Structure 1
Amino acid sequence: MKLYGITGWKNAGKTGLMERLVAEFTARGHTVSTLKHAHHSFDVDHPGRDSHRHREAGAQQVLLSSGTRWALMSELRGAPEPPMEELLAKLAPVDLVLVEGWKRDSHPKVEAWRPEPGNPLIAPGDPTIRAVAAGGPVELTDRPVFDLNDTAAIADFMAGEVGL
């Protein structure tokens, strides 16, 4: 599987760019999966539902299935968060996995950046960031800079990098 990341600070436009890139690559006929890192606790389950009750009772994993989708929930129960490689191994094979987050891992990335939040660019100090998708003017000369909304150009760049 090919792997490419989208990284950046909060409110930089990462999720919107991810959404547009998934649509762009799938429109080009590629199969795509995503991996999203969250810095906070999250839940895809709902209190009172059977699957939630199973987890609350102490189940290590709960697999929920229907005629339209299935989901496997695993509780860490105090164990450390698995590394990205371990999580990727759980995905079914696809042409491209787009990763949102995981700033410090070594996979290639495009940095989403907007001037409004006031955060500095990550790219100057991070060689894994191969390009910047900017929502404003950027002074960066050693890597390509794309308009944050030019999804096709960003997808072309990423596809060229991974050989799609």
Structure 2
Amino acid sequence: MKVWGVVGWKNSGKTGLMERLVTEFTGRGLTVSTVKHAHHVFDVDHPGKDSHRHRQAGATEVLLSSRKRWALMHELREEAEMPLETLLAKLSPVDLVLVEGYKRDQHPKVEAHRAETGNPLIATDDPTVRAIASDSGAAADDRPTFDLNDTVAIADFIAKELGL
């Protein structure tokens, strides 16, 4: 599986870019999965539901299944975050995995950047950021800069870099 990341500071446009890239790549006939890093505790389950009760009782994994989808929840009882590499190994094979976040990992990335956030570019100090998608033309070294909303050009760049 080919892996490409989208990084950026809070409110930089990462999620919107991810969404547009998934649409663009699947429209090109590729299979795509995503991984999203959350800096906060999250739960896809709800207190009182059977699956939540199973987890509260101590189950390590709870698999929910219906006609439309299935979801596997795995409890990290030691509260140690799993490395991206371990998480990627759990995915079914696809043509491309787009990763939102995980900016310290070594996979290639595009940085989403909005001038209004006032944040510096991550790319300045991170060679794994191969391109910048910006609303202001922000640039770093010899890496290409794309308009944040030019999804086709960004997808073309990623596809070329990954040999898709």
TM bin (shorter chain): over 0.9
Q: Which runs of 5 or more structure 1 residues have no equivalent in the other structure? A: none
Say how many residue pairs are matched: 164
Shift of 1:154: 0.2
In the TM superposition, what are the counterparts of 1:1-164 in structure 2 within 5 Å? 1-164=1-164
Shift of 1:117: 1.1
Q: Secondary structure at the match of 1:116?
A: helix
Deviations 1:75-116 (A, max 9, x none): 101241111110000000000000000000000000000011
CA distance in 2, matches of 1:153, 1:9: 22
2:135/2:148 contact within 8 Å kept: yes
TM-score (norm 2): 0.98
Q: Bigger CA drift: 70-79 or 150-159?
A: 70-79
Over 3 Å counting, the alpha-carbon distance change for 1:31 and 1:140 in structure 2 is: same
Shift of 1:57: 1.1
Q: Which runs of 5 or more structure 2 residues have no equivalent in the other structure? A: none
Shift of 1:155: 0.2
Q: Secondary structure at the match of 2:25?
A: helix
2:110/2:131 contact within 8 Å kept: yes
Shift of 1:48: 1.0
Q: Secondary structure at the match of 2:116?
A: coil
CA distance in 2, matches of 1:25, 1:60: 34
Q: Secondary structure at the match of 1:41?
A: coil
2:137/2:146 contact within 8 Å kept: no
Deviating above 3 A after TM superposition, structure 1's stretches of 4 or more consecutive aligned residues are: none
TM-score (norm 1): 0.98
CA distance in 1, matches of 2:76, 2:140: 41
